[in-house]
Amino acid sequence: MTSSGQPLVEVRGAEKRFGTTHALRGVDLSIRCGQCLGLVGRNGAGKSTLVSILSGLAEPDAGTVRFGGEPAPRVGDIRRWREWIATVFQHSMIVPDLSVAENVFLGSTPGFVSWREMRARTRAIMREWGFDIPAEAPCRELSVEQRQIVEIARALARGARCVLLDEPTAALERQAGRRLFERVRQLTEGGVAVLYISHHLEEVFEICQDVAVLRDGELVLTAPVADLTRDDLVAAMVGARTAAAHPQAAGGQPGREADVKPDARGDVVLAVDDLSADSGRGRLAGVSLRVHAGEIVGVTGLLSAGVATLGRAIAGADQQASGEVRLNGRLVPSGRRDAAQRAGMGYIPEDRRAEGFVAQLGVAENVTMTVTRKLSGRFGLIRPSRRAAVAAPLTASLSLVSSGPGQQVSELSGGNQQKVTVARTLAHDPSLIVAITPTRGVDVASKELLLDSLARVAAAGHASILLCTDELSDLVICDRVIVLVRGEVFAEFTQPPFDRDELIVATEGISGTTPRVPAGTAEEAAE
């Protein structure tokens, strides 16, 4: 029955509804051996649903999944399912306390474990595919990139002929991303099918042969990448109707920014002096910077450069070792998030799942979580209707899609969850927003809305500081960009537009080609 011409994985007429949400509408998709198929779509287009159906975690309401021409195993029979298709999820499925070998064979060990054999087989897999991770190493010590490879190795160890990569580069630095692409090519050359899900269209163009576009639960386009331009893809993702509905969002931010901004710098809103901090996210070794009213300052650098550490220390989410943070001239106590917020410090955390929202509470409640004191009337009581009324304009301004103010945030798509996090910050009308990678894992249109909301805060005379490690394109909204290298200010770019290549070179700590080396910092500190 199985023949070489047959698709390895085939989905026919997949339908899935969640209540009133029609997540998938008759999706047909097939993947051949050795093919790398890109799957793109905006947040909420149905990608995650399709992934969970393909991973055997959810059953479609209608339609079939076939592997090598035969019906797929029962949903929930994860072990047999994994023999065909294995998923590397956005969120690591590695047990950090176990070794590499144990993680590779997680859930597929026989009754009695032969450690020697398990390690030997792990080493064999690593060798076969050219990965270099010791089988004995505890996964806790591995980088994000290495953990992904462990997950891929796990898939290969089970003989999966199809690997599903869900936003694999989201947590990787650029170079690690490049190495991942090499791995993907190795896999496809070895006959493995890869379904590659990404928000980064350039990645799709780089490593996929074909691309499938989901929009509102429908597969609107499947074509070889070579036949498409980037604009074709974006048009397919956004759809003509939606594109027309958000002309202002698509409009050029830099131009509008330039109109609004006065030439002279406003008052200093944020003053950071000689800030040092130790953190697993990267050490900070004496950073000083100023942010003025009406300004958006970008901070970028490699993952380990301390970008997120800086953001967390400024926002009061983590304690600093030394140095001080002043907001509008007032000292912000170290590591006191509640005090920082009362002083007017908005905070959009790096990891929305960890810090951005409370999953089992409703949209309105999450959005207004920063303003419960203001919302509550006598005796501290809060009327749910008032909560919904306060949340409504915020969610509307961000085009947050939910079934109502009471819908649990856990039920929203990733992009809408991020909007909850951003709306929560906007709700308390901060005089400065500290946004750490605010657009990670968010689709193109939502990304513009989110950045636009930061720009609006700055335009209203407040300020924003945007910290990002990989989404360099987000920096277009910034007036200045500070580059951190190994926890110190390495360079400052004061003249938009910022050249992407120059930024990348600076983040790597190479100063030769950078036009404006620390000069800006010295001037700043002297103020």
Partner 1 sequence: MMSNQTPDGPAGTAATTATAATAATTGAAVRPGDDAVAIPAPGAVGGLGALGSWLRAMNAGVLREVALLPVLLLLIIVGSVVSPVFLTISNFAGIGQQSSALGVVVAGESLILLIGGMDLSLESTFGLAPMVAAWLIVPVAAFGSGTDLNPYLGIIVLIVVGAAVGMINGLLIVKGRLNGFIVTLGMTIVLAGLQNGIVKAETLFNLPRAFDYLGSASWGQLPVSLVVTVIIFVLVGLFLRYHQIGRAIYAIGGNTAAARAAGIKVERIKIGVYVAGGVLAAIGGLMEAGRVSAVTGQQGYQEGIIFSVFAAAVIGGVSLKGGRGNMVGAASGVILLGIVANILDLANVSNYWIEAINGSVILFALVLARIVGGESTAEER
Output the smallest distance, CB 384 to partner 1, in A.
4
Side-chain-side CA neighbours of 171 within 13 Å: the count stands at 17
DSSP string, 114-160: -HHHHHHHHHHHHHHTT----TTSBGGGS-HHHHHHHHHHHHHHTT-
CB of 99 or CB of 417, closer to partner 1: 417
Output the smallest distance, CB 362 to partner 1, in A.
5
For the chain, the first-to-last Cα distance in angstroms comes to 76
What are the residues binding partner 1 (CB under 8 A)?
A: 18-21, 315, 317, 337-338, 340-342, 347, 349, 354-362, 364-365, 369-370, 372-373, 375-376, 379-384, 388, 392, 395-396, 399-408, 411, 424, 428
**Among 373, 25, 489, CA closest to 215:** 25
Neighbour-count burial of 296, counting CB atoms closer than 10 A to its CB (0-12 exposed, 13-18 middle, 19+ buried): buried
Q: CA-CA distance, 458 to 288, in Å (whole number)?
A: 21
CB of 137 or CB of 382, closer to partner 1: 382
Q: CA-CA distance, 401 to 216, in Å (whole number)?
A: 12
Output the smallest distance, CB 413 to partner 1, in A.
13
Output the smallest distance, CB 449 to partner 1, in A.
14
CB of 148 or CB of 431, closer to partner 1: 431
By the 8 A CB rule, do 367 and 382 touch? Answer: no
Output the smallest distance, CB 429 to partner 1, in A.
13
Query: Backbone dihedral region of 99: left (phi > 0), alpha (psi from -120 to 50 degrees) or beta?
Result: beta
Output the smallest distance, CB 373 to partner 1, in A.
6
Output the smallest distance, CB 399 to partner 1, in A.
8
Q: CA-CA distance, 18 to 313, in Å (whole number)?
A: 40
Helix (H) or strand (E) holding 391: helix 384-397
Q: CA-CA distance, 525 to 505, in Å (whole number)?
A: 24
CB of 362 or CB of 520, closer to partner 1: 362
Output the smallest distance, CB 34 to partner 1, in A.
37
CB of 248 or CB of 494, closer to partner 1: 248
By the 8 A CB rule, do 419 and 391 touch? Answer: no
Output the smallest distance, CB 425 to partner 1, in A.
9
Give the 3-state secondary structure of residue 444: helix
Output the smallest distance, CB 18 to partner 1, in A.
6
Q: For residue 479, give both structure tokens.
A: 């007036």
CB of 250 or CB of 392, closer to partner 1: 392
CB of 108 or CB of 403, closer to partner 1: 403
The residue type at 404: G
By the 8 A CB rule, do 23 and 52 touch? Answer: no
Sheet containing 463-468: order of strands: 345-348, 432-436, 463-468, 296-300, 480-485, 488-493
By the 8 A CB rule, do 446 and 242 touch? Answer: no
CB of 190 or CB of 384, closer to partner 1: 384
Output the smallest distance, CB 171 to partner 1, in A.
18
The residue type at 237: M
CB of 435 or CB of 481, closer to partner 1: 435
Beta bridge partners of 223: 211
CB of 62 or CB of 359, closer to partner 1: 359
Distances (CA, A) of 371 to 27, 137, 346, 363, 390: 43, 46, 12, 14, 10
CB of 22 or CB of 256, closer to partner 1: 22
